[in-house]
Amino acid sequence: MVNFSVIKVVNFSMDKHTRSRSDDYRGTRQFQTGTYSEACIESGVMGWKGIVDLLLVRSEGCEIIDFKSGEHSPDHELQLRAYAAIWLRAESQNAEQRRATTLKLVYPDGPVEVQTLSSDEDAELASQLVSRAEAARQAIVDPLPRATTSASECPRCQVRHLCEEYWQVLQEWRGADDRAARFVDLELAYEGMDGASFARGRVLRSSVLASDAPVLLRLTEPIPSWASPEQTMRVLGGRILDDTSSGRFVISAGELTEVYFV
């Protein structure tokens, strides 16, 4: 079960009709007409639960109120709508399937009413939440974590040379890397050496250079003796030089450049 809850500290007066979380309304008892603080709502069909700061159950509809101590955020609206989706499908607690007709965020500078979703929009959100829960469960049992590629984050990853997902999408990110004017990650088909300091190759994948572009990689360390033209070379953070007199793009391997054979 995935929790959709935020820890909060809220002060408000409770009258005799207000039931607290200590009344044990935790997924097994029907919420009757009344007012509940820190109400734990749970939907088995969705696989989600949440803790609502204030739940007002009325015969004509329900109100969900959440108290926030920080800045306004669209995420807070999503959280309330998720509560509404869970509440509608809370089989044991909301057997009459009363809809949340009012959603309200209370900030230090005052309350904000959040627009409720239509039936179709609510169903779509519920489906998305179920998918998120399933993805989270799958991530736990997978023997290896799944890579989530990002044009802004991947170039900073220190193990991207081992990530097949990164190299598969690299070609699609042409121009997305703001370092592209000078620095480049690229995968090369290694062709051999030109002297002791230059490795020849052709581009397999890169966000900057076109596929099959000829490249000379200027090295600071010798290529391993076991390297052969059948192998693939991956270069991280090579610097593109202006010198094209050789008819090939010249990539310089500096102190921070890493070169791997795979």
**Is pLDDT larger for residue 176 or for residue 99?**
99
On whether residue 77 sits in a domain, the answer given is yes
Global pTM value: 0.54
Residues 15, 104, single domain; the answer is: yes
Output the domain CATH number for residue 245: 2.40.50
Cβ(198)–Cβ(223) below 8 Å: no
Q: Which of 2-6, 21-25, 68-72 has the highest mean pLDDT?
A: 68-72
CA dihedral in degrees (90, 91, 95, 101; nearest 10)? Answer: 20
Q: Which of 141, 166, 200 is the last residue before a domain boundary?
A: 141
Measured CA to CA, the distance from residue 118 to residue 124 in angstroms comes to 10
Per-residue model confidence as pLDDT tens digits over 131-166: 998 888 887 887 776 778 887 788 888 888 888 888
Residues 12, 127, single domain; the answer is: yes
On whether residue 149 sits in a domain, the answer given is no
On whether residue 146 sits in a domain, the answer given is no
On whether residue 71 sits in a domain, the answer given is yes
Number of structural domains the chain divides into: 2
Residues 41, 165, single domain; the answer is: no
pLDDT confidence of residue 86: 96
Portion of the chain with pLDDT greater than 90, in percent: 43
| pLDDT above 80 (res 85) | yes
Residue 28 has which token pair? 């097994």
Residues 197, 249, single domain; the answer is: yes
Residues 107, 8, single domain; the answer is: yes
Residue 6 belongs to domain spanning: 2-141
Q: Which of 120, 141, 162 is the last residue before a domain boundary?
A: 141
Q: Collapsing DSSP states into helix, strand and coil, what is residue 172? A: helix
Residue 195 has which token pair? 């002297």
On whether residue 172 sits in a domain, the answer given is yes
| CA angle at 4 for the pair 151 and 43, rounded to the nearest 5° | 125
Average pLDDT of the chain, as a whole number: 82
